[in-house]
Amino acid sequence: MKILNRLILSFLILSSFSSIAQTVKIDALPAGAEIIENSSRNSRAVKINTKDSRTAVLGFLPGYATQGIMASELKTKGVSDYTIKLNKYSKPSKGFASKKIEFAKLTSPSGGDANAEINTFISNNIATAGYTVVGSNKIFSGKSDVADFAVGGEMTWVNSGTAGRGFQVSVLIHWSVFSVAKENIVYEITTGGFSDSRQKSAISEELKLAIADAVNGLVYDPKFQEIVGKKSETVSINAQDAISINKPTLKKFESYSAVVKESIGSVVTVKTNFGIGSGFIISDNGYVLTNHHVINSAEKVEVVFENGFSFEAKIVRSNEDKDVALIKISGSGFKPLVLNASDALNSTGTEVIAIGTPENIKLGQTVTKGIISGKREIDEKIYLQTDVAINSGNSGGPLINTSTGEVIGIVAAKIKAKGVEGLGFAIPIAEAIKYLNLKFE
C-alpha cells in the first residue's frame, strides 16, 4: 500500500510539473519593451503553450537588440514564467576598425540558401555599421587576402502576418563567426528581428527589414566587436627600435635572364599551419620579408627554399596596418636580394618580375613578368599596380625591377572579379623599411 501511495504521489507531482511547463507567461525587460508573439505586437506579457513548436516570442524595443525564444526551448526549461532581457546597442566607439569580415551565407529554416540579394543586403548592413567587409568583387582576392573572419547565419525560425496595408515579419537567426587563421568557430550568438513598417510593399522587403534588425543584434554586440575588432598597433619609429640589417652588395646584370637566375634562389615559400605564402631573403644572416597576413596568427612558421631545404622561422616584427612582416631563420651565408625604395625604379611602365609560390608549394619560385601600371591609393594606402600574373600564394614575394635586379615592392594582392584581369598590387618597399623600422648598414 505504501508503494502504491508513493507511485500516486510521484504521478501527481509529475502531472503538476507537466501542467505548469505547458503554459508559460513571458514578459520582457527593460520597461517599455514590446512582446512579439509570432508576428503580433503585445504591450503586456503573453502566455504561450510550449507544445506549439511553431510558436516563438520576441522582445522588441528600438535601440536594443531584439531577442527571442522558441516555445520548444521553454518546454525543456520547465518554468512557468520567463523574462526576455534585452541589451542596449553597443555601437562601435569612435575610431573603431575591424579586421576583414566576409559574410558567407544565410540559410533558411528549410535548410536552403538565401538568394544573392539577401546575402548582399546583409553584407551591406554589416559594412554600414562600421565593419570592414570583403568578398568577391569587393576587394583583393587570393589565399593571402582571405577575410580574417567569415560570418554565417542560420535562420532558425520565421513568421509573418498582415498589418495595415503591409506585413509584420519576425525572425530568429543563429550567427556563427569563423576564424580563418584558427580554422574554427570562435563565437556564436542568436538574435531576433522584427519589422512592422506598415508599408504597402512585398513581403520580401519586410523580411529584409526584419533581417536587418537581427543583423543589428550581431554588429552591436560587444563580444562580437571585441573578437573582430582590429587591435590598435602603434609602431614607434626611432633609432632605438631600428633593426640593423647587413646591406648586401648590388651586382650588375647583363640580361633579364641573369636577374631571374640570380634572384630565384633568394625567394622562399613561407609555410604556416593554415596555408602558404611567399617571402624573400634580405640579409645573409637570415632575415626574410613577407606580408603580415601570410604569418598572422600562425602557430608555426617555416621557410622553404627552392632546393627543398626548410628552416623554422620566428616572427621578429609585424605591422598589420601596412601588411608587412619581418621573420628570421637561423644560420648565415644566405643570398639576399637588394632593396631600393627610390621612386625612379617604380615609375609607370617599368618592367618588373614577381617570384613566388602560387597555389601550391610544388609551384614554388614561379616567375611572372609585366610592368608597373601605376600607383594607386586604396583604403588610404599606397600600392604599386602591376599586370604581373599574381595568384593565391604569391603574397609576400618580391616585385623586382628587371633592369637592376632590386626589389621595389612586396606582392600583396590582386583584384579578382568577373571580366577583370591584370590588376595586381604590391606594397612599395619603402613602406616595409619604414614601418618595420629597418636600418641597412
The rounded distance, in Å, linking the Cα atoms of 379 and 400 is 24
Residue 131 confidence class, pLDDT cut points 50, 70, 90: very high
Residue 296 has pLDDT above 50, yes or no: yes
Residue 18 has a pLDDT of 43
150 pLDDT tier (thresholds 50, 70, 90): very high
**Are residues 138 and 8 in contact, defined by beta-carbon separation less than 8 angstroms?**
no
Between 137 and 333, whose confidence is greater? 333
pLDDT at 289: 97
Biggest alpha carbon–alpha carbon distance for the chain: 109
Cα–Cα distance list, 106 to 82, 109, 289, 339 (Å): 29, 10, 39, 46
Return the closest-CA partner of residue 178 out of 143, 109, 228: 228
Instruction: Compute the average pLDDT of residues 65-80.
Output: 91
10 Å Cβ neighbour count for 65? 24
Single-letter amino acid, residue 263: S
Question: What interhelical angle do 116-128 and 203-219 show, nearest 10?
Answer: 40
> DSSP alpha helices (H): ranges in 108-255?
116-128, 203-219, 222-228
Domain ranges of the chain: 28-232, 239-440
- 293 catalytic residue (yes or no): yes
- pLDDT value of position 377: 82
Please report, for residues 39, 61, 68, 193, 387, the alpha-carbon distance to residue 31 in angstroms, rounded to integers and kept in the order given.
Answer: 20, 9, 16, 19, 61
Range 405-409 average pLDDT: 95
Task: Tell me what percent of the residues of the chain surpass a pLDDT of 90.
Answer: 54
**C-alpha span between 319 and 296 (Å, rounded):** 10
Assign residue 294 a region: left if phi > 0, alpha if psi is -120 to 50, beta otherwise?
alpha
Does the annotation count 395 as an active-site position? yes
> Which range among 54-58, 143-147, 325-329, 400-404 shows the weakest confidence by mean pLDDT?
143-147
111 Cβ contact list (under 8 Å, min separation 6)? none
Distance between CA 297 and CA 320 in Å, rounded? 11
CA dihedral 252, 257, 259, 261 (to 10 degrees): -120
Q: Prior bond to 248 cis, omega within 30?
A: no
The CA distance from 27 to 42, in Å, is 10
Which H or E element spans position 71? helix 71-77
Of 141, 323, 373, 392, which residue is the catalytic one? Answer: 323
What pLDDT was estimated at residue 362?
74
Condensed to tens digits (0 to 9), the pLDDT of residues 244-258 reads 988 888 888 888 889
Across-strand partners of 386? 372, 424
Catalytic residue among 39, 179, 293, 318: 293
Spot the catalytic one: 144, 318, 392, 395.
395
Mean pLDDT, rounded, for 375-393: 82
* Residue 267 host element (H or E): strand 267-272
Active site residue 379: no
- CATH number, span 239-440: 2.40.10.120
Q: How far apart are CA 344 and CA 365, in angstroms?
A: 26
Question: What average pLDDT is seen over the chain?
Answer: 85
- C-alpha 161/C-alpha 248 separation (Å) is 73
Residue among 28, 70, 25 at smallest CA distance from 48: 25
Tell me the mean pLDDT in the region 349-378.
85
Entry field: residues in the chain: 441
Percentage of the chain lying above the pLDDT 70 cut: 88
Residue 5 has pLDDT above 60, yes or no: no
Confidence grade of residue 237 (pLDDT, cut at 50, 70, 90): low
Query: What is the pLDDT, as a whole number, of residue 231?
Result: 66
Question: What's the whole-number mean pLDDT along residues 264-281?
Answer: 90
Of the spans 153-162, 200-209, 371-380, which averages the highest pLDDT?
Answer: 153-162
Q: 77-109: per-residue pLDDT in tens?
A: 888 999 999 999 998 887 788 888 999 999 988
